[in-house]
Amino acid sequence: MKSDNNTIKIDGIDKKILRFLMEDARKPVLEIARNIGISGAAIHQRLRKLEASGLLAGSKFILNPKVLGYTTMAYIGIYLDKAMSNPVAVKQLEKIPEVLECHYTTGNWSILIKVLCRDNEHLMHVLNKEIQQIEGVSRTETFISLDQQINRQITI
CATH number of 15's domain: 1.10.10.10
pLDDT for 82: 87
130 by DSSP, 3-state: which?
helix
Question: Do 72 and 122 share a domain, yes or no?
Answer: yes
Kindly state whether residue 28 falls inside one of the protein's structural domains: yes
Report the number of distinct structural domains present in the chain.
2
Q: What is the amino acid identity at position 59?
A: S
Question: Do 79 and 121 share a domain, yes or no?
Answer: yes
Round to whole Å and give the CA distance between 36 and 34: 6
Q: How many CA atoms lie within 13 A of 3 on its CB side?
A: 7
pLDDT band at 2 (very low <50, low <70, confident <90, very high): low
* Cα→Cα distances 23→26, 127, 134, Å: 9, 36, 40
Question: Do 141 and 85 share a domain, yes or no?
Answer: yes
Question: Do 78 and 12 share a domain, yes or no?
Answer: no
Whole-prediction pTM value?
0.85
Round to whole Å and give the CA distance between 132 and 92: 11
Kindly state whether residue 151 falls inside one of the protein's structural domains: no
Q: Which domain holds residue 95?
A: 65-145
Per residue in 102-127, pLDDT (tens digit) is 999 999 999 999 999 999 999 999 99
Q: What is the amino acid identity at position 32?
A: I
Round to whole Å and give the CA distance between 24 and 35: 14
